[in-house]
Amino acid sequence: SQQGEEDPQALSIQEGENATMNCSYKTSINNLQWYRQNSGRGLVHLILIRSNEREKHSGRLRVTLDTSKKSSSLLITASRAADTASYFCATDKAAGNKLTFGGGTRVLVKP
């Protein structure tokens, strides 16, 4: 079973719009990470947020974490065609241990 469940499963937006995706998980965590996967390639790490953090930014990415609701969101602002990919959340129960991935959100950014 997967720790994280992502919503929506797919998202289609116009270039320049914002994309928001959500991740819910079941057990307490040490940190939550977001990864991007382009068309069947390897995953690339985007951002990590620790359980004692509520919000984190990296470039056009904004991640929030609500441990009381066991949920996280990833916002991509001013999306570009190159942001077209699948995005996965992954939870780590113990720092540096092992990750449990969600099912992913497929994002299509139309030019």
Partner 1 sequence: DADVTQTPRNRITKTGKRIMLECSQTKGHDRMYWYRQDPGLGLRLIYYSFDVKDINKGEISDGYSVSRQAQAKFSLSLESAIPNQTALYFCATSDGSQETQYFGPGTRLLVL
Interface contacts to partner 1, rule CB under 8 A = 2, 4, 30-31, 33, 40-45, 48, 88, 92, 95-96, 98-104
Give the nearer residue to partner 1 in terms of CB position, either 13 or 48. 48
Give the nearer residue to partner 1 in terms of CB position, either 63 or 111. 63
Query: How far apart are alpha carbons 74 and 40 in whole angstroms?
Result: 21
Q: Which of 38, 50, 30, 15 is nearest to 88 (CA)?
A: 38
Give the nearer residue to partner 1 in terms of CB position, either 3 or 79. 3
Both tokens of residue 99? 């990750």
